[in-house]
Amino acid sequence: MTFDPVKYQQKYVKYDPLVEVAENFDFSKLKSAESLFSGCERLQCIPKYDTSHIESMNQMFRGCYSLRYLPLLNTSKVKDISGMFINCYNLYRIPEFDFSSVRHMSKAFQGCEDIESIEGLSLNNVEDMQGTFEGCVSLKRIKDLDTTNVTIINRAFSECYNLQELPRLNLQNAINLNMTFNECRSLKEIKIENLGKVSWMTETFYRCSSLESLPILDLKSCTGLDRPFNYCKNLRKIHLKNCSKILYPFEIKFCESLRELILEGLTTGFDISDIKLLEVNYTQLFKSLGRFNPSNASHRYFIFIHRSMENKLDTSIAKSKGYKVIYR
């Protein structure tokens, strides 16, 4: 039986969500499976169709709330899996699909609450990972994830509360890291490298409450930080390199275990008034700063420090670089 996706959508999806689909559909000439089973709320599985010519599986199973598992489909030509499994709440396992041709996978697994592990997926050409694993609350480990070509990785792992294991991520083409690891409460270590193109970091590690260590972050292209480390309660060291392009003041708060802070080349103000650091580390911090650029607006040269440190610090180094230290 030749498969007509338009007629299928009209006949089944809109009026009578399926529990099963026929095995004799001919998919062999189908190039797009976009939204094919979207909205089939009772669908639990599909037969192993010939999907060898399909190039897009965009939102293919979106909203298939009852979907539990899938056969190992031929995905060698698929380039787009954006939203493929959005809100497949009961999907508990992903076969080792060949996603080597995939470039777009934004929100691919968003809201897949039962998946505990992602591994064996060939993802070496992916460019867009926005929200890919967002809301995968049971996800514990991701293996073999190649991010070398990824440019968009905002919210990729956001709200993966139980995520404990990530591979090393090469982010050499990533543009920004907005909320990338937001609410990854179980991650103790995040290995990221090559941030040379990152221009903005908003709540990147926000509420990563178990996070203990980060590598040195080279921010040579970064112009803005917005609460990137707030509520990282177990993080002991933050070392940022090449901060001279950061234009706006930022805050680092609720990092109660922080013992070392280095902001190499920074030329704008910042607020660490919630943190109690040892004096020796303040000295190290002040030495790491760049000279404040007077062309910036005047309110940007303030350094806010916890009031308990007043009269205990030698702030002459900071003052010599054009900063004004305020205790509060």
- Which pLDDT tens digit goes with each residue over 35-81? 998 998 888 888 888 999 999 999 999 999 999 989 999 999 999 99
What's the pLDDT at 14? 42
Given the DSSP bridges, would you call strands 169-170 and 302-305 parallel, antiparallel or unpaired? unpaired
HEC-encoded secondary structure of 37-56? CCCCCCCCCCCCCCCCCCCE
What's the pLDDT at 11? 46
- Which pLDDT tens digit goes with each residue over 145-168? 899 999 999 999 999 999 999 999
Instruction: Report residue 203 as tokens.
Output: 């709540």
Which of these, 283, 272, 277, lies nearest to 309 by C-alpha position?
A: 277
What's the pLDDT at 10? 44
Mean pLDDT of the chain: 89
Distances 49 to 52, 60, 64, 253 between C-alpha atoms, Å = 9, 14, 18, 53
Q: pTM to 2 decimals?
A: 0.90
From the number of C-beta atoms within 10 Å of its C-beta (0-12, 13-18, 19+), residue 140 rates as middle
| CB of 292 closer than 8 Å to CB of 323 | yes
With a CB cutoff of 8 Å and minimum separation 6, the contacts of 10 are none
| CB of 198 closer than 8 Å to CB of 219 | yes
What's the pLDDT at 46? 86
Which of these, 89, 46, 51, 90, lies nearest to 71 by C-alpha position?
A: 46
3-class secondary structure, 324: strand
What gap in Å lies between CA 214 and CA 309, rounded to an integer? 26
- Which pLDDT tens digit goes with each residue over 12-25? 444 344 455 656 67
What gap in Å lies between CA 116 and CA 139, rounded to an integer? 4
Instruction: Report residue 40 as tokens.
Output: 């089939």
Backbone φ and ψ for 80, nearest 5 degrees, come out as -135, 115
| CB of 54 closer than 8 Å to CB of 75 | yes
Q: Which residues face 251 on adjacent strands?
A: 271
Q: How far is CA 260 from the centre of its chain?
A: 25
What's the pLDDT at 22? 56
Q: Which residues face 32 on adjacent strands?
A: 56
Distance between first and last Cα of the chain: 74
- Which pLDDT tens digit goes with each residue over 247-301? 889 999 999 899 999 999 999 999 999 887 876 689 999 999 998 866 655 557 8
What's the pLDDT at 52? 94
Which residue type does 210 have? S
